[in-house]
Amino acid sequence: MASRVQQGGRPGGSRFSQFKLVLLGESAVGKSSLVLRFVKDQFDDYRESTIGAAFLTQTIALDETTTVKFEIWDTAGQERYKSLAPMYYRNANCAVVVYDISQASSLDKAKAWVKELQRQANENIIIALAGNKLDLVTENPDKRAIPTADAEQYAKEAGLLFFETSAKTSENVKELFTAIAKKLPLDQGGPRNIRSGPRQGVDLRPEASSTVGASGCNC
Amino acid sequence: MAAQNPSTPPSSELPTVPFTQEGTELAKDTPAAPSRETTPPPLPPRPKIYGLLGDRPPTSGGLRVPSSAKRPGLQSKATTALSLGELHAQTNRDGSPASCQTRARGRSRSGSEVDDSASIRSFAPTMQADGDIESLLGEVLGDSEIQTWKIMGPQFPGGQSQGASIFGNGPEFEEAFEHEFDELTELETDGSNEELVVKQWKAKLKHFLVLSSAGKPIYSRHGDDRLISNYIGIIQTIISFYQGANDSLKGFTAGNVRFAILSKGPLNLVAISKLDESDQQLRVQLESLYMQILSTLTLPSLERMFKARASTDLRRPLQGTEILLSALADGFTRGSPSTLLSALECLKLRKSHRQVINNTLLKTRSPNLLYGLIVASGKLVSVVRPKKHSLHPGDLHLIFNMLFEAGSVKAGGGENWIPLCLPGFNNTGYLYMYVSFLNVNNTSEQVRERPSTSSGEDEVAILLISANKDGFFELKKMRDELVEQLDKNGSLAFMTAAIKRGRPSCTDIIPGTTLRHFLYKSRGNVQFTMPSFDPYFSTPIARRRLLTLYTHLHTHLHTRPTHLKIHHTTSGNCLTLAWTTPLFDLYAVAPGTTSRAALAQAANRVVQWVRREEERVFIIGGAVF
Ligand SMILES: Nc1nc2c(ncn2[C@@H]2O[C@H](COP(=O)(O)OP(=O)(O)O)[C@@H](O)[C@H]2O)c(=O)[nH]1
Ligand SMILES: [Mg+2]
């Protein structure tokens, strides 16, 4: 699939940045499915739950000269792995917190993760909230447990990007990751080996375009 | 929680063998050997050249098993043995085996201090440098204190009697086995289809249940709580009745169903089998399920939870690992040579090729690595390990089950970082395992960038285990270097070729043989080898039948107090042989039309073949640092 790009290399004068992304959320909301859709464009109806954590990479082109490589940690979300979570989000530049729009309790879990990230993770971490399994409610609106407006409202207050997605139909999956990439400080995205703490200089990026734009594309 | 420096395993471990057997089976089964745990497997006696089943000590030279002629001794034995249950005992002609083994032990000890690989060879010497030895079999028999062999007739359980209803060629068994792994129909909320679901549930050949000692269901292979709660209640009542009487219940039979129970601290594990397995065999399976639970939780945390609240619901902390328990359970139901023998299978590779892989592992080893393993289609290719730590086959079985039976790790399509406790190594803390699957058919470039998810037998997994929970990137780097070098030095290609070749068939091993299948376990190496299941045992049901035969043979060989050294049985339409020596266990199956002499000769040839191929079919020592 995507061609290999040297770390930090700038082939043809283009910009290349690399970022760490972590997926968090309750078990079975579709984290692994979102990643697999994003990385391999695959979906599996009978997916066994993740054991431990999986590490995957995907490179996307934002435009002709800008590529972004995501290094993705897909975590298991089970209670017993809770204490390991900091290991995965500690150096993350961005996070996708996932809930299942057909399961009310999963949003509470998502909110708890957001809180933890805002308290413990990299200060400038970009967080996206993803309400997954959109296809279920498209098919049968009764299945919706969380109104879009409620989640959107919460996302706005907490300063999160927000999408409703379907790993099954791939609706909004690419958009979700692209929106994150656009919000990332592209010039500073160094190789992952720089296990930096909060990065300096990030604030130089314009803040404005971000929060609005994202939830915008959902309409 | 971080694994505190993984504690040194008990000193009973043999530092120079790559794998350690669980328990002290060796000592138990070798009456002549002192039962000290540190006792390494005895050296074989000095080569003496006897034929298989030689009932007379040879006077000189190699007494070959004649390829066509019936051997006189054998013939008479077979005839007299028609009176069932006759024991034919033979005392060794010279000297006691005990002294022989003591001698051997002393030698291997000192060897271990000098050179690792040499000592390993001396621990597990199915191979001798002396090419003239005609029959290792004969030599072992000759030196054993007593050679007993017994011919069993058709009333052997695996034959026509109790097993027949299930194992005969009956369509009932076939039907049941075919649906064994199907999900039960969902129970309607109003219970209207209960009868149907219960019928499906009862048709299962095998059940596994895990309960807390307070009687709470923790795991059931088939059926949800609602369906099985009655049965759980009954089982729980029976177990507690016996526990109340301070006489813990190990098993009982109801109809053609055997119940085996393993009590482990706060847990009761129950196996319910119509597959005619012994309690010991069932308990080995339950032990493995218990190890899987420990692997998820660790022993102290399991105990802590139940100490805090006896009614703890363990389902929550175990959430997501049901697939691992079920994969183990189904493996047992399908029939697992590895579990039956408590041994591992290795990928057959030329010694020099394995050496290159071992050296590459050593060269690329990163500082925090504890164990490194390369595994191809469920078979071990190479191991790198610290000198003082052996690997426990039970632990490896859990890992192989996770990676090759349960699909989730492979299907994830990435690299993985998995906290797990390896209870055989240390049941109190976690280790961290880096896993990456390579598709060896792809170019290494692709492999490096994006490990494939394509399933199939052609996959190689790199497993790197560390006690450092932050070690992912360190081990990932090691993996990248390792794969690059394995590709460069041709090892990946050798592995691919070996995987493609698969296991040899019986006729590859012994041209023209009537032998259909065998299991050879090297006791010292805790490894086994076997030929391909094809062409006679290609279907799951044929394989299950074969494993059932092996299960019976294993029972007879290992049920004390009979110290059967060789056991023959005509079971259904098969002639089988089971044979144990201090060095190996061999189980062989031939069609019923085969003569005992021919089967004995084939067994002899298998042993010769293993001796010749030992460093290809087994990992002797592995890479040690
Ligand atoms: N209908 C539907 N099912 C989904 C979707 N995403 C995931 N699933 C299913 O939900 C289950 C759990 O998904 P998984 O990705 O393993 O969740 P995780 O535990 O958060 O990683 C699986 O059976 C998936 O097939 C989706 O967008 N739509
Ligand atoms: Mg997952």
Complex-level ipTM:
0.81
Kindly identify the ligand whose nearest atom is closest to the C-alpha of A51: 2
CB contact under 8 A, A51 and B415: no
Region B552-563 average pLDDT: 75
Query: Whole-angstrom Cα distance, residue A176 to residue A180?
Result: 6
DSSP run (H or E) holding B247 = none
The DSSP call for residue B557 is: H
Say whether residue A82 is in contact with chain B using an 8 A CB cutoff. Answer: no
Using CA atoms, how far residue B170 sits from B167, B274, B553, in Å, is: 7, 14, 21
For A207, residues 6+ apart whose C-beta sits below 8 A from its C-beta are none
Q: Kindly report the length of chain B.
A: 625
B530-547 burial string, b = 16+ CB within 10 Å, else e? Answer: bbbbeebbeeeeebbbbb
SS3 content of chain A, % helix, strand, coil (to 5): 40, 25, 40
Q: Is the pLDDT of residue B267 over 50?
A: yes
**Lowest mean pLDDT across B183-187, B244-248, B376-380, B386-390:** B244-248
Tell me the H-state helices in B247-389. Answer: 279-297, 299-308, 322-334, 337-341, 351-364
pLDDT, position B176: 84
Region B140-163 average pLDDT: 31
Question: pLDDT per residue over B354-376, tens digit each?
Answer: 999 999 999 999 999 999 999 98
Using CA atoms, how far residue B100 sits from B24, B104, B143, in Å, is: 20, 6, 8
Residues of A in contact with B320 (CB under 8 A): 27, 49-51, 76, 78
The span from the first CA to the last CA of chain A, in angstroms, equals 31
CB contact residues (below 8 A), chain B span 448-467, against chain A? 449-450, 453
For B97, residues 6+ apart whose C-beta sits below 8 A from its C-beta are B32, B45, B143, B144, B145
pLDDT, position B448: 37
pLDDT, position A11: 53
CB contact under 8 A, B419 and A84: yes
Region B582-594 average pLDDT: 92
Looking at per-residue pLDDT, the higher value among B577 and B573 belongs to: B577
Q: Is the pLDDT of residue B241 over 90?
A: no
pLDDT, position B291: 96
For the purposes of burial, counting CB atoms within 10 Å of the CB of A185, is it exposed (0-12), middle (13-18) or buried (19 or more)?
middle
CB contact under 8 A, B321 and A51: yes
Query: Whole-angstrom Cα distance, residue B258 to residue B250?
Result: 11
Do B266 and B306 contact (CB within 8 A), yes or no? yes
CB contact residues (below 8 A), chain B span 483-522, against chain A? none
pLDDT, position B106: 34
Closest approach atom of ligand 1 to CA A27: 19
Q: Is the pLDDT of residue B146 over 70?
A: no
Distance B170 CA to ligand 2 centre (A): 43
Q: Closest by alpha carbon to B252, among B267, B234, B225, B227? A: B234
Query: Whole-angstrom Cα distance, residue B78 to residue B71?
Result: 11
Distance A88 CA to ligand 2 centre (A): 14
Nearest CA to ligand 1 atom 7: A30
pLDDT, position B44: 33
Chosen from B293, B324, B325, B418 to mutate, greatest number of chain A CBs within 10 A: B418
Query: Whole-angstrom Cα distance, residue B104 to residue B106?
Result: 5
3-state SS string over B430-457?
A: CEEEEEEEEECCCCHHHHHHCCCCCCCC
pLDDT, position B151: 29
Q: Closest by alpha carbon to B473, among B415, B399, B430, B420? A: B415
Looking at per-residue pLDDT, the higher value among B47 and B570 belongs to: B570
Sign of CA dihedral B48, B49, B55, B56: negative
* Tens digit of pLDDT at every position of chain A (219 positions): 333 334 455 555 678 899 999 999 999 999 999 999 999 999 988 888 888 899 999 999 988 888 999 999 999 877 777 878 898 999 899 999 999 999 999 999 999 999 999 999 999 999 999 999 999 999 899 999 999 999 999 999 999 999 999 999 999 999 999 999 999 987 655 544 344 444 333 333 333 333 333 333 333
Region B513-529 average pLDDT: 94
Q: Distance from A77 to chain B by nearest Cα, in Å?
A: 10
Q: How confident is the model at residue B299 (pLDDT cuts 50, 70, 90)?
A: very high
Distance B316 CA to ligand 2 centre (A): 16
Q: Is the pLDDT of residue B131 over 60?
A: no
Q: Judging by DSSP bridges, how do beta strands A66-75 and A126-132 pair with one another?
A: unpaired
Looking at per-residue pLDDT, the higher value among B8 and B265 belongs to: B265
Q: Omega before B561 cis (within 30°)?
A: yes
Q: At what angle do helices A173-183 and A208-216 cross, to 10 degrees?
A: 170
Task: Give the closest of A4, A78, A192 to B320, CB-based.
Answer: A78
Say whether residue A7 is in contact with chain B using an 8 A CB cutoff. Answer: no
Residues of B in contact with A84 (CB under 8 A): 419, 469
pLDDT, position B238: 79
Tell whether ligand 1 has an atom less than 6 A from the beta carbon of residue A31.
Answer: yes
Tokens of A169: 């139909």
SS3 content of chain B, % helix, strand, coil (to 5): 40, 20, 40
pLDDT, position B250: 81
Q: Closest by alpha carbon to B609, among B477, B524, B511? A: B511
Q: How confident is the model at residue B564 (pLDDT cuts 50, 70, 90)?
A: low
Q: At what angle do helices B225-244 and B194-203 cross, to 10 degrees?
A: 50
Query: Whole-angstrom Cα distance, residue A38 to residue A60?
Result: 10
Task: Give the closest of A47, A49, A54 to B414, CB-based.
Answer: A54
Task: Give the closest of B317, B323, B416 to A48, CB-based.
Answer: B323
Query: Whole-angstrom Cα distance, residue B12 to residue B23?
Result: 10
Q: Closest by alpha carbon to A32, among A79, A100, A102, A114? A: A100
Looking at per-residue pLDDT, the higher value among B377 and B475 belongs to: B475
Amino acid identity of B428? T
Say whether residue B414 is in contact with chain A using an 8 A CB cutoff. Answer: yes
Q: How confident is the model at residue B411 (pLDDT cuts 50, 70, 90)?
A: confident
Q: Closest by alpha carbon to B41, among B16, B58, B59, B63? A: B16
Do B345 and B337 contact (CB within 8 A), yes or no? yes
Beta bridge partners of B88: B149
Say whether residue A52 is in contact with chain B using an 8 A CB cutoff. Answer: yes
Q: Is the pLDDT of residue B212 over 80?
A: yes
Distance B435 CA to ligand 2 centre (A): 16
Q: In the predicted model, what is the mean pLDDT of chain B?
A: 72
Instruction: Provide φ and ψ at A212, rounded to 5°.
Output: -65, -55
Task: Give the closest of A36, A51, A72 to B409, CB-based.
Answer: A51
Question: pLDDT per residue over A96-153, tens digit each?
Answer: 999 999 999 999 999 999 999 999 999 999 999 999 999 999 989 999 999 999 999 9
Q: How confident is the model at residue B523 (pLDDT cuts 50, 70, 90)?
A: very high
Looking at per-residue pLDDT, the higher value among B81 and A203 belongs to: A203
For the purposes of burial, counting CB atoms within 10 Å of the CB of B419, is it exposed (0-12), middle (13-18) or buried (19 or more)?
buried
pLDDT, position B17: 58
